Amino acid sequence: MDCRQIAITGTGMYVPPRRVTSSELDQRLGLADGWTAKKTGVLERRYTEGETSSQMGAKAARAALEQAGYELSDIDCIVGVSGTAQQEIPCTAALIQRELGGGGSGIPAFDLNSTCLSFVAGLDTISYLVEAGRYRRVLLVASEIASVGLDWEQKESCTLFGDGAAAAIIERTPAGSASRILAARMETYSKGAHLSEIRGGGTMLHPRLYSETTKADFLFQMDGRGIFRMTSRLIEPFVEKLLSESGLGMDEIDWVIPHQASGMSMRILREKLGVRPERFIMNIANYGNTIATSIPLALHETIATRGIKRGDRVLLLGVSAGLSLGGIVLAY
Amino acid sequence: MDCRQIAITGTGMYVPPRRVTSSELDQRLGLADGWTAKKTGVLERRYTEGETSSQMGAKAARAALEQAGYELSDIDCIVGVSGTAQQEIPCTAALIQRELGGGGSGIPAFDLNSTCLSFVAGLDTISYLVEAGRYRRVLLVASEIASVGLDWEQKESCTLFGDGAAAAIIERTPAGSASRILAARMETYSKGAHLSEIRGGGTMLHPRLYSETTKADFLFQMDGRGIFRMTSRLIEPFVEKLLSESGLGMDEIDWVIPHQASGMSMRILREKLGVRPERFIMNIANYGNTIATSIPLALHETIATRGIKRGDRVLLLGVSAGLSLGGIVLAY
């Protein structure tokens, strides 16, 4: 059992003020009233109106710092863990550092990207550096603006997503502390790499190639059925291995915090894994799928409102573009 | 002294066949013959002609696997360490896994991005996971296509860059082995975040905003003088701290492998640090600045052609957009 003595000592979130209800989208898309809410499980989501990803991320980061009672100067590394970037160069973490007023601080800042699983992969990866003492306190920040990249001709996907940011601070705990990471696992099956993607915007299809005929290349495309088929086959053995590495059974997990992919996929996941509804965190109704923000945002709300205690066993779990499966079992 | 028992057990590189000489650029840009070579220190660079970043990365990865005597199935994690991405979603590492024929392998794949320092930050970060036994053998792949994002109205920057890929395999070494990481350090000063950037392409300026009047936003912009001013002040104390953490003096370093930023910046760096020319690796004349590929490509060539021995002390060092400074002292 691989066991890292680290704790999440602060979390924070920020969502932009503009609420977009599912009825509003039904109207915009010419759908029957109620279609979007029923199909996606999302009642409302937020869309930014001019705020940047680093501005949102900095607000979530400040909330996490405040909750933990820290200043930016207490942090010795900032990791951007978003599936989308604010700009091509430089990394979003540097832009967040700047928004936090740390432009002259020297605090190392870089991004780690596994699309919707970026927070999970980031927490997993960086926990080793914290355990080894390389960094005392690391600020992980996910900030996503999904709304700019939606394809309004794909009603199954454009209705799912929302914008938002969430942050977490991790640090090493003294021996004997209940908080730790018990196990983590990631698997990538790139035969599914094109099941959900934005083909353009990078070096393969430069923005200069954007036009009315190519615009779908620059918007999020998703083969929901294909993802469902791949994931159905992979998720149970994945969770079995992860739990086995943690030494725990599913009945010993106090809280399951899944990626808020879609209402239906989460319902199926919950039933497959046999998790009681009151232990399975769903906030997709309020925010939609916020890409990599989704898991830390749900974690923040669970901590803030659900009476989670230190030592409670938490399973973070998700599927991302790639196609990747990722999960962490931790004692909070 | 923070000491990680890991070794680089294989390296590989790939550059596309099309050579672009500096004379060709002089002509294209209407410059006096010799201007580009003199100003940049680059005699030629490569430009892709239709190859993708993941195709180039897979070729470099295959070369590294072959050199180390491994198959893909010997690798248990793939980390994309480029400053540019092939497409917005998913991460480039997943696309490289697919090109390597590992689409059904489940090998975890994610990206880590600190622009030109992505390889250095990736090697630094992932070495902790390898040391801890989380992964036995990790494949780090940098693959960059700079040529699609150059601003041909900025002759100082567009003449500097080239395309290429490089890969390295790292794994844990037995106790007593000479190979290890002796020290690593990163500092980010985001007051310099906009000194070199591509403002567009992410969520702030979506490709749909590309036009003749906005096109500079989607191309690489660089304030060379501003970078030089910031870096001049920061580099010496940075290197001093890094060396002090490694327990070595500059005279005990056998090979300095700098980011191949520009001929002039490297000459100034070498003189500032007092490194003998024969120990200071420069291949910018042949490839230009290949973003994050530049350091692992120079490392590969040093291993292949310069008679580097196991245990030799190597300093990897660079400055990236962000603005970040990064370095690693390792015993090869």
Inspect the interface and report whether the beta carbons of A110 and B84 lie closer than 8 Å.
Answer: no
CA B202 remoteness from chain centre? 22
pLDDT tens for each residue of A226-283:
999 999 999 999 999 999 999 999 999 999 999 999 999 999 999 999 999 999 999 9
Inspect the interface and report whether the beta carbons of B125 and A125 lie closer than 8 Å.
Answer: yes
Chain B nearest CA to A103, separation (Å): 4
Percent with pLDDT over 70 in chain B:
99
In this prediction, residues B202-230 reach a mean pLDDT of: 96
How far is the C-alpha of B323 from the C-alpha of A252, rounded, in Å? 45
Chain B nearest CA to A220, separation (Å): 8
Looking at A91, A259, A286, A300, which residue is catalytic? A259
| Average pLDDT over chain B, rounded to an integer | 97
pLDDT tens for each residue of A126-174:
999 999 999 999 999 999 999 999 999 999 999 999 999 999 999 999 8
Percent with pLDDT over 70 in chain A:
99
Give pLDDT, residue A174: 87
Set of chain B residues whose Cβ sits within 8 Å of the Cβ of A208? 210, 215, 218
Torsion (CA) B111, B116, B119, B125 in degrees, nearest 10: -70
Looking at A77, A91, A116, A158, which residue is catalytic? A116
Outline where DSSP puts E strands in chain A: 6-14, 19-21, 44-46, 77-80, 109-113, 137-144, 164-172, 180-188, 196-197, 221-222, 255-258, 313-320, 324-331
Closest CB to B89 among A94, A134, A220: A220
pLDDT tens for each residue of A66-105:
999 999 999 999 999 999 999 999 999 999 999 999 999 9
- Using DSSP bridges, classify how beta strands B313-320 and B255-258 pair: parallel, antiparallel or unpaired: parallel
Percent with pLDDT over 90 in chain B:
98
The question of whether A113 is a catalytic residue gets the answer no
Alpha helices in B30-147 (DSSP H): 35-40, 53-68, 92-99, 118-131
In this prediction, residues B42-62 reach a mean pLDDT of: 98
Inspect the interface and report whether the beta carbons of A91 and B220 lie closer than 8 Å.
Answer: no
Closest CB to B134 among A2, A102, A207: A2
Whether the Cβ atoms of residue A326 and residue A125 lie closer than 8 Å to each other: no
Inspect the interface and report whether the beta carbons of A108 and B134 lie closer than 8 Å.
Answer: no
Set of chain B residues whose Cβ sits within 8 Å of the Cβ of A83? 89
Inspect the interface and report whether the beta carbons of A84 and B203 lie closer than 8 Å.
Answer: yes
In this prediction, residues A15-44 reach a mean pLDDT of: 97
The packing angle between helices A118-131 and B118-131, to 10°, is 70
CB contact set of B160 (below 8 Å; sequence gap of 6+): B40, B42, B261, B262, B288, B289
Q: Please report which helix (H) or strand (E) contains residue B171, including its range.
A: strand B164-172
Give pLDDT, residue A175: 82
Complex confidence, ipTM: 0.97
Chain B nearest CA to A323, separation (Å): 8
Give pLDDT, residue A7: 97
| Average pLDDT over chain A, rounded to an integer | 96
Confidence check: pLDDT of B80 > 80: yes
Mutation target among A4, A92, A204 for the B interface, most CBs of B within 10 A: A204
Give pLDDT, residue A2: 63
Give pLDDT, residue B191: 98
Chain A nearest CA to B57, separation (Å): 13
Query: Measuring CA to CA, which residue among A39, A68, A55 is closest to residue A288?
Result: A39
Q: Which pLDDT band, with edges at 50, 70 and 90, does B3 fall under?
A: confident
DSSP label at residue B75: -
> So which residues of B are the catalytic ones?
116, 259, 289
Set of chain A residues whose Cβ sits within 8 Å of the Cβ of B111? 111-114
Chain A nearest CA to B224, separation (Å): 15
In this prediction, residues A47-61 reach a mean pLDDT of: 97
Closest CB to B207 among A85, A114, A200: A200
CA B109 remoteness from chain centre? 19
Q: Identify the structural domains of chain B with CATH numbers, from first to last.
A: 6-172 (3.40.47.10), 180-331 (3.40.47.10)
How far is the C-alpha of A196 from the C-alpha of A214, rounded, in Å? 17
* Nearest-by-CA chain A residue for B195: A90
Q: Could you tell me if residue A170 is left (phi over 0), alpha (psi between -120 and 50 degrees) or otherwise beta? A: beta
Give pLDDT, residue B175: 81
Mutation target among A75, A76, A91 for the B interface, most CBs of B within 10 A: A91
pLDDT tens for each residue of B126-151:
999 999 999 999 999 999 999 999 99
Confidence check: pLDDT of B1 > 60: no
Size of interface A-B (CB pairs under 8 A): 270
pLDDT tens for each residue of B270-325:
999 999 999 999 999 999 999 999 999 999 999 999 989 999 999 999 999 999 99
* Nearest-by-CA chain A residue for B204: A86
Give pLDDT, residue A3: 81
Inspect the interface and report whether the beta carbons of A198 and B89 lie closer than 8 Å.
Answer: yes
Confidence check: pLDDT of A1 > 70: no
Whether the Cβ atoms of residue A258 and residue A190 lie closer than 8 Å to each other: no
Give pLDDT, residue B21: 98
Inspect the interface and report whether the beta carbons of B108 and A186 lie closer than 8 Å.
Answer: yes
How far is the C-alpha of A48 from the C-alpha of B247, rounded, in Å? 49
Confidence check: pLDDT of A9 > 80: yes
Whether the Cβ atoms of residue B147 and residue B162 lie closer than 8 Å to each other: yes
Confidence check: pLDDT of B66 > 80: yes
Confidence check: pLDDT of B2 > 70: no
Length of chain B: 332
Q: Report, in angstroms and rounded to the nearest whole number, the Rg of chain B calculated over CA atoms.
A: 19
Inspect the interface and report whether the beta carbons of B114 and A114 lie closer than 8 Å.
Answer: no
